Amino acid sequence: MVVEAEISKEERACLVALSQVTHVGPVRLGRLREYFGSLDAAWRAGERDLRQILDERALRAVLTARASVEPELVLDRIAKSGAGIVTVLDDAYPRILREIPSPPPVLYYRGTLPDADERSIAIVGTRRATSYGREVTSRLASELAAAGIGIVSGLAKGIDGVAHRAALDAGGRTFAVLGSGVDVIYPHEHRQLAERTVESGALISDYPPGTRPDAPNFPPRNRIISGLSLATVVVEAPARSGALITVGFAADQGRDVYAVPGSILSPASDGTNRLLRQGALPLTSATDLLEDLNLAPPGAAPAAQLEFPMTDDERAMYARVTSEPQHIDELAYSAGLSIAAASALMTMLELKGLVANAGGQHFMSTAVRPKSTRQLPS
């Protein structure tokens, strides 16, 4: 649909009312407006004319809605809920979201929507985050927020909540995309976090105020999380994680996907490690992201490399790696491990940016060794 600097109240009311009708999505709304010249005209059109655009199921839904809904009263009800409205026809609609296939026709929000030139990154992951996942998320979100990058996530428990909170604590902006109305906060324990988000960013949803957080609502909202973002970062996700749905949307939208490497022994990282095997970009520091996407402000000091926690086995193996290439057989023998076990550990160290494969399964150190007060096994 063509963007307009200002649309009439009648057109806005009919767009919002039609967007709430079952079986009438962005594509059908666009066809209705193109055929009738306006959605106001489409709302008042006769059944015979509507049949030119709508199938029987959508037609019945529209006729039923028209019999019981007054579009301008819909706007009044939303205003009373405290939610703002922006439609895909408005100039204020987030520019980056408009670029995705079939952007949501209407967004409801509390707070301040992203600016036209807002640069945002999505950070998503499991609700059952480990201490490793929480630490990495906090550091990534705070460093990106300090660099002026907005943080987009879904206000869920685990990685989402940590990302929002870290961005706010760093003085940044964060945007929470909900699977409910913006007046229905879920989970309940994030109500205070939601209010903090409203103060510096926004709660955003394409579900009308009053919508309950039903399970089927959450997968579709993930397209907005990725759609508002230049790239999506998956910090920690098991093999069957809702965060991987966001990855699918990001790929469809032509947006980059980054994954943080995790322990091969942790089920919480099965999904992220699989993404890396499938071609996701490995992320080991906020600097990687800022440089890849040309987001670093001129003259900015580089963000610190993330010091990913190492397991005891990884630490023991890392202690044997030097600045000179060594074959995996030699490293395995030195550590008293099988070739398979040593190779797995070296893969994790390589993903964490601590070692490099110099070719022919020869490995060497690439990073300054993190300080440790623990005694390494001999």
Pure H helices in the chain: 9-19, 26-36, 39-44, 47-50, 56-68, 71-81, 95-98, 131-146, 159-169, 191-200, 218-227, 243-252, 270-277, 286-292, 312-318, 328-335, 339-351
Domain that holds residue 154: 120-292
pLDDT value at residue 57: 95
Name beta bridge partners: 110: 203
Task: Examine the domain organization and report whether 277 and 168 are in the same domain.
Answer: yes
pLDDT value at residue 374: 28
- The answer to the question of residue 111 being in a domain is no
Task: Examine the domain organization and report whether 63 and 185 are in the same domain.
Answer: no
Q: How many domains is the chain built from?
A: 3
- The answer to the question of residue 110 being in a domain is no
Other C-beta atoms within 10 Å of 41: how many? 16
Model confidence pLDDT, tens digit, residues 328-351? 888 988 888 888 888 888 888 877
Task: Examine the domain organization and report whether 58 and 154 are in the same domain.
Answer: no
Task: Examine the domain organization and report whether 173 and 125 are in the same domain.
Answer: yes
Pure H helices in 147-185: 159-169
Report the C-alpha gap between 255 and 113 in whole angstroms.
Answer: 20
- The answer to the question of residue 139 being in a domain is yes
pLDDT value at residue 204: 98
- The answer to the question of residue 93 being in a domain is no
Model confidence pLDDT, tens digit, residues 265-303? 889 999 999 999 999 999 988 988 998 888 876 555 454
Task: Examine the domain organization and report whether 129 and 48 are in the same domain.
Answer: no
In whole numbers, what is the pLDDT of the chain averaged over residues?
89
- Secondary structure of the chain: what % helix, strand, coil (to 5)? 45, 15, 40
- The answer to the question of residue 21 being in a domain is yes
pLDDT value at residue 192: 97
Task: Examine the domain organization and report whether 232 and 352 are in the same domain.
Answer: no
CATH number at residue 352: 1.10.10.10
> Which residues of the chain have a pLDDT value below 70?
1-6, 297-309, 366-378
- The answer to the question of residue 94 being in a domain is no
Residues 6+ apart with CB under 8 A from 290: 144, 147, 149, 296, 300, 303
Report the C-alpha gap between 132 and 72 in whole angstroms.
Answer: 50
CATH number at residue 280: 3.40.50.450
- The answer to the question of residue 87 being in a domain is no
Scored b (16 or more CB within 10 A) or e, 46-75 reads eeeebeebbeeebbebbeebbeeeebeebb
